[in-house]
Amino acid sequence: MPFTSLGLQPALAKAALDYGYLAPTAIQRAAIPAILQGSDILATAQTGSGKTAAFCLPLLNDWLTQHPAGSRQAQTLILVPTRELAVQVGNTLRDLAERLPGRLKVSVVYGGVSINPQMMALRGGTDIVVATPGRLLDLLERNALTLGAITRLVLDEADRLLDQGFADELHRVLARLPPYRQNLLLSATFPPAVRALAEQLLHQPLRIDIAADDTPPPDILQRAILVDAPRRTQLLRHLLQDPRRDRVLVFVASRHAAERVTDKLQRAGIRAAALHGDCSQGQRGQVLADFKSGQLQVVIATDLAARGIDIVRLPVVVNYDLPRSPVDYTHRIGRTGRAGAHGEAISFVSADCAAHFALIEKRQQLRVTREQIAGFEPTELLAEPTSAAPGNGGIKGKRKSKKDKLREAAARQTDA
């Protein structure tokens, strides 16, 4: 089914295809025509189901067909719970708009950074505002922005907006909006607080509930490569020689590991950068922009990136260090194989973490065939389990503790 069949303008449908949206997902098929007709929407769908495009595409379509030429009064407000999501939504709108006629101005505002550049950026008006509630209120109090022309309100991840203590700020923002507008409420879950908010905001909404069973599983080839821990960087460099791996997201366990692996790759002439919690917002934004544009081949990231990065057609994810939990494993590999594209998720499995990977398999109800790469065969003893290791209530599986290793070393010295 092409996007034009949902009512989108041909230029926008082509922009979506060029951006990497190969075909509409279930929530996009249900939501886009209804939004274009002006209906209020109450939608629940899982992360990675295409919720962002489900509202961004019809908003851009309306901007193409209805926005007065030269007008810079904000007509659309998108509220989100975190600055990472604000940046993601803003980038999606801007990237799609780059492929369209006209000049769309999107203002992305959030706390945790200086307010002055955001105020300067709002001079001359804007078309779409993507904001966290607290920073939006700050800008309203400084008269840097007005909401009197808002005709569409989007609450993205409404459950998190309420869970994270934004309820008071959210209601203060709602009180400043015009009473007649289109409201789009999207949420991964539908707890009582979201239900109450929906009853307050929405007028005869279309209820869209995309269950996990309605969303086809992503096309991700999962691989587990056996390798001695000290040779992981060499193996990574070997894998990066494949021209199909032009962009690779590598997950490590710590900031120190991210910097260390990045330094080794850079010294080998590979375009790599680190991404972790100690990076400033400006640094994080620049790394992601360079990664998306292809200036970087590799980003070495800690788990802060697992739930915040949305790279269209990212071909490969590598677990250099295994994640601490099976849930983190799901979020990590979910960065590839998005929007119907094929993806590859590679995990390095060494002797000391074999039981841990088996536990991840057990919790995820999967089995990944162990592989060996010629020239990188492991020398450390690694017993390949015939079935996933039994869980013991902890995430470490059967790995020895530091105390156990010290006891064994002392015993060896005594025996000698």
Residue 387 has pLDDT above 50, yes or no: no
Please write the tens of the pLDDT for every residue from 18-69. 887 878 888 999 999 999 999 999 998 766 678 899 999 999 999 988 765 6
**DSSP-assigned beta bridge partners for residue 101:** none
Give the residue among 257, 226, 244, 228 at the shortest CA–CA distance from 368: 226
Confidence class for position 144, pLDDT limits 50, 70, 90: very high
What's the pLDDT tens digit per position in 350-379?
999 999 999 999 888 889 999 999 999 998
Architecture of the CATH domain 3-56+68-214: 3-Layer(aba) Sandwich (3.40)
Q: Residue 318 and residue 336: Cα distance in Å, rounded?
A: 10
pLDDT, tens only, 280-315: 767 877 888 899 888 999 999 998 655 556 777 789
Distance from the first to the final alpha carbon of the chain: 73
Judge if 3-56+68-214 and 219-402 fold alike in CATH terms.
yes
Strand 152-155 to 76-79 pairing: parallel
CATH of domain 219-402: 3.40.50.300
d(CA 266, CA 245) in angstroms, rounded, equals 17
**Domain range list for the chain:** 3-56+68-214, 219-402
* Cα gap 270→266, rounded to integer Å: 5
Own/partner contacts of 402-407, CB < 8 Å, gap of 24 or more, are none
Whether 76 and 128 have beta carbons less than 8 Å apart is answered as yes
Question: Is 137 exposed, middle or buried (CB count within 10 Å of its CB: 0-12, 13-18, 19+)?
Answer: middle
Task: Write the pLDDT tens digit of every residue in 63-83.
Answer: 988 765 656 789 999 999 888
